[in-house]
Structure 1
């Protein structure tokens, strides 16, 4: 399965090692999300899929079970495996989100991603300002510095930014709010590879500067300031992906 940061690492062309199981899941899942396997269509037969991906029936069946658990497909007796409507997909699943990076641009979907970030991040950053420890603050400052010194490396900048988000989520001490990280990674990957609003280098510079302010506010326990600066980072990402609204 994809680990946190896997999508960001892929921006530089570096792919994690994978086994046959994860390979088939990614190939079929991405084909569904990108529309190569259309919603409502029946997937090719087991024999055709086994030949296409070079895997055994056991590997294929396990992969399809995994995709069914994510809501992407449904196995039907005497019919086959059918691609499910999008309303059944688990959009908080990190893999399902990551596959959308390669999908055709969908403005409404992107807007939904940023709305979700806004709803979940507000309480998360406020809780972080109340519950952060000295170690959380140390890590925030370290990864903010990595953002500032990343230069032209999308991977270094993106991974550092994702670490900052992760530490804020961790320090919030709310298990469910941490689920926003998958959404954050996709929106961050989109922002890093688009220039709808400002040049990429300027975007990274402004983003790093805002996160320094977030870290300072969290360190001082100022929940209101932390929330305001954090919301500014979300708006910056949104503008970079969707353009100035």
Structure 2
């Protein structure tokens, strides 16, 4: 697992401190998701990968175990490590989602992501409007201010928006709905890197929508909160699909 916000931080070139284990996981994971290592293909031998990535056998084996736990590969006796069918991939894993940012644009996959986001986040915002506390609202307003004052910082804007969505999920009091955060982060990262000529207008519209959502949550207006969040989801959808 990776920390929420890691993908958005990487947009400005700032990455979390890495170690050999995470380096190998990221290199192989991205290659699988991008299709460089196709489904059904067998990865190179341990000796070749150890030389390629400059790591020990222990580090490589641990990395492959992590990838296997995510459903991306499977080790077979006398065959080697094979890339698993997509049906076995854990698409709710934050790293697996983040690796899709580097993959070729796939409008069908993006539309599926939005369907999942709506299925999770619309019930979350309804729950937030019913169960929010004063502290929930305070946190949302704080991050809204951070987004509104981000200026040219894509990182600050993206992280602030992500925190708002995370707090909506938290305020819903349904722990299962927190799984939407990884999906939201990938879609935010995609939206922030599409159509740069209209980025400022997109950010302004996003802030307006989020402000309306927070006001509706604070007032306990369930239908309005759902409606305005749906508008924000559609804004992201149009932007990403048009820029793909």
TM-score, length of structure 2 as denominator length: 0.97
Q: Distance in 2 between matches of 1:112 and 1:106?
A: 10
- 1:143-198 deviation line (CA, Å, top 9, x unaligned): 111111111111000000000001101111111100010000000100000029x7
Q: Which residue of 2 aligns with 1:232?
A: 231
SS at match of 1:194: coil
**Is 1:207 matched up with 2:206?**
yes
Q: Distance in 2 between matches of 1:159 and 1:122?
A: 20
- 1:34-82 deviation line (CA, Å, top 9, x unaligned): 1111111100000001111111111111110110111100100000000
Q: Which residue of 2 aligns with 1:30?
A: 30
Structure 2, unaligned runs of 5 or more: none
Structure 1, unaligned runs of 5 or more: none
What stretches of structure 1 move > 3 A for 4+ residues in a row?
none
Q: Distance in 1 between matches of 2:66 and 2:10?
A: 22
SS at match of 1:199: helix
1:2, distance to aligned residue in structure 2 (A):
1.8
SS at match of 2:190: helix
Q: Distance in 2 between matches of 1:24 and 1:76?
A: 20
Q: Which residue of 1 aligns with 2:218?
A: 219
Q: Distance in 2 between matches of 1:107 and 1:17?
A: 32
Q: Which residue of 1 aligns with 2:21?
A: 21
Q: Distance in 1 between matches of 2:123 and 2:227?
A: 12
Q: Distance in 2 between matches of 1:7 and 1:15?
A: 8
Aligned residues: 243
Residues 84-103 of structure 1: pairs in structure 2 closer than 5 A? 84-103=84-103
Q: Distance in 2 between matches of 1:74 and 1:24?
A: 16
Q: Distance in 1 between matches of 2:215 and 2:65?
A: 46
SS at match of 2:65: helix
Q: Distance in 1 between matches of 2:107 and 2:89?
A: 18
Q: Which residue of 1 aligns with 2:3?
A: 3
TM-score, length of structure 1 as denominator length: 0.97
RMSD: 1.2
1:243, distance to aligned residue in structure 2 (A):
2.5
1:220, distance to aligned residue in structure 2 (A):
0.5
- 1:65-101 deviation line (CA, Å, top 9, x unaligned): 1101111001000000000111110100000000000
- 1:114-158 deviation line (CA, Å, top 9, x unaligned): 011111111100000111110111111111111111111110000
Q: Distance in 1 between matches of 2:14 and 2:24?
A: 19
